[in-house]
């Protein structure tokens, strides 16, 4: 019996040197202290030991159990707890979730919205599939009128088009409310253009409309030059050139002075004018009482100017290397 105890002791000491994982510690516990463990079995055999030797042998086994427990606890403290399959190590550095960015068009559209919110404009919307009537006729562009040539149109049917501009939202706004009106209408527009660095069959515009008693060309100039300075910098210079749009009279184009490495030049930024009395009559707003101005411009163009983007296609390709720069 004493020999057996010495044998097991030797095994325990050898095994205890290998307890380098929580699983090994657990196997060690089972091997020696489990229900059928070697040390546990020694206690069972104690009954068959001679009465005279029992105290001494009992003491040896007790010492062996203490040794085993001590080795096991020491190793367990080193190896840590057993990790289950879905174990989570809370001490590891977190993995940063990939946070998206705003698209340059969204950045510019939001800034536009904020500037015009401060000027008292709210936001209006209209559908991208629009009636021929609202896209053209209500804006004083009758069928076969040469002004339709200014906008190559994608027709859905004889009466439905993909809107070529956001101007129909002017009409929708005036048809469904009463003056005064002060709205901007951002959104997608479509034209039958071939995709290249400066053309896209789908692009973005914002429309502006202000109709009230006593609104003048002076108001138009004040609001649009204020906007330009807030959007492009306090020193931005603007100029207005006479132009033609069927839905405004008089009409103008506004340019901003743009400095680049190639030098400075005037860049066309937007179309504008005083709302044509014929348009007001068409939506039952009395032009003898009310007057207003309207304007429209490309969001893509604004974004390209502001961020120095030289190819409109990059705005639609969703290339992460491009988008990560904003």
Residues lying near ligand DAH in the complex (CB under 6 A): 165, 167, 207, 245, 248, 271-273, 294-296
| Coil, helix or strand at residue 243 | strand
Closer residue to ligand DAH (CB): 165 or 204: 165
Give min distance, CB of 314 to ligand DAH, in A.
22
Q: How far is it, in rounded angstroms, from Cα 263 to Cα 6?
A: 96
Give min distance, CB of 320 to ligand DAH, in A.
31
Closer residue to ligand DAH (CB): 68 or 248: 248
Terminal Cα-to-Cα distance of the chain (whole angstroms): 81
Closer residue to ligand DAH (CB): 104 or 246: 246
Closer residue to ligand DAH (CB): 59 or 199: 199
Give min distance, CB of 207 to ligand DAH, in A.
5
Q: How far is it, in rounded angstroms, from Cα 86 to Cα 83?
A: 8
Closer residue to ligand DAH (CB): 104 or 273: 273
* 8 A C-beta contact, residue 291 and residue 275: yes
DSSP string, 254-286: EEEEEEETTEEEEEEEEEEEEEPHHHHHHTT--
Residues β-bridged to residue 185 = 207
Closer residue to ligand DAH (CB): 108 or 206: 206
Give min distance, CB of 289 to ligand DAH, in A.
20
Give min distance, CB of 268 to ligand DAH, in A.
11
CA distances from 208 to 4, 120, 219, 278, 288 (A): 98, 12, 13, 18, 21
Closer residue to ligand DAH (CB): 130 or 207: 207
Give min distance, CB of 94 to ligand DAH, in A.
48
Give min distance, CB of 240 to ligand DAH, in A.
12
What lies within 8 Å, CB to CB, of 268 at 6+ separation is 253, 254, 255
- In 83-127, beta strands by DSSP E: 122-123
Pair of tokens at residue 52? 């005279």
Q: In the sheet where 291-298 sits, what is the strand order? A: 122-123, 181-190, 202-212, 291-298, 263-275, 248-260, 238-245
Task: Give, as one character, the DSSP assignment of residue 87.
Answer: -
Give min distance, CB of 165 to ligand DAH, in A.
3
* 8 A C-beta contact, residue 9 and residue 64: yes
Closer residue to ligand DAH (CB): 37 or 168: 168
């Amino acid at each position: 019996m004493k020999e057996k105890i010495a044998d097991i002791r030797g095994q325990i000491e050898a095994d205890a040197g290998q307890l380098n994982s929580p699983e090994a510690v657990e196997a060690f516990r089972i091997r020696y202290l489990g229900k059928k463990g070697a040390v546990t079995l020694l206690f069972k055999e104690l009954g068959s030991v001679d009465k005279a030797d029992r105290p001494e042998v009992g003491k040896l086994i007790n010492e062996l159990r203490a040794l085993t427990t001590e080795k096991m606890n020491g190793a367990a403290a080193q190896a840590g707890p057993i990790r289950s399959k879905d174990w989570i190590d809370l001490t590891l550095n977190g993995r940063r979730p990939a946070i998206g960015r705003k698209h340059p068009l969204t950045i510019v559209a939001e800034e536009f919205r904020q500037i015009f919110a401060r000027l008292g404009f709210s936001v209006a919307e209209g559908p991208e599939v629009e009636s021929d009537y609202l896209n053209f006729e209500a804006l004083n562009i009758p069928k076969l009128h040469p002004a339709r040539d200014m906008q190559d149109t994608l027709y859905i049917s004889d009466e439905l088009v993909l809107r070529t501009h956001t101007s129909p939202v002017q009409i929708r706004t005036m048809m469904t409310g009463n003056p005064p009106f002060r709205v901007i209408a951002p959104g997608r527009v479509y034209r039958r253009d071939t995709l290249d660095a400066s053309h896209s069959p789908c692009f973005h515009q914002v429309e502006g409309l202000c109709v009230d008693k006593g609104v003048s060309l002076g108001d138009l100039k004040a609001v649009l030059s204020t906007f330009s300075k807030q959007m492009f910098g306090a020193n931005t210079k603007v100029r207005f050139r006479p132009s033609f749009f069927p839905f405004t009279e008089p009409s103008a184009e506004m340019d901003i002075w743009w400095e680049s490495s190639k030098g400075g030049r005037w860049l066309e930024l937007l179309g504008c004018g005083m709302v044509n009395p014929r348009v007001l009559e068409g939506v039952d707003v009395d032009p003898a009482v009310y007057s207003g101005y309207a304007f429209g411009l490309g969001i893509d163009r604004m974004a390209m100017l502001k961020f120095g983007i030289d190819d409109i296609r990059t705005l639609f390709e969703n290339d992460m290397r491009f988008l990560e720069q904003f």
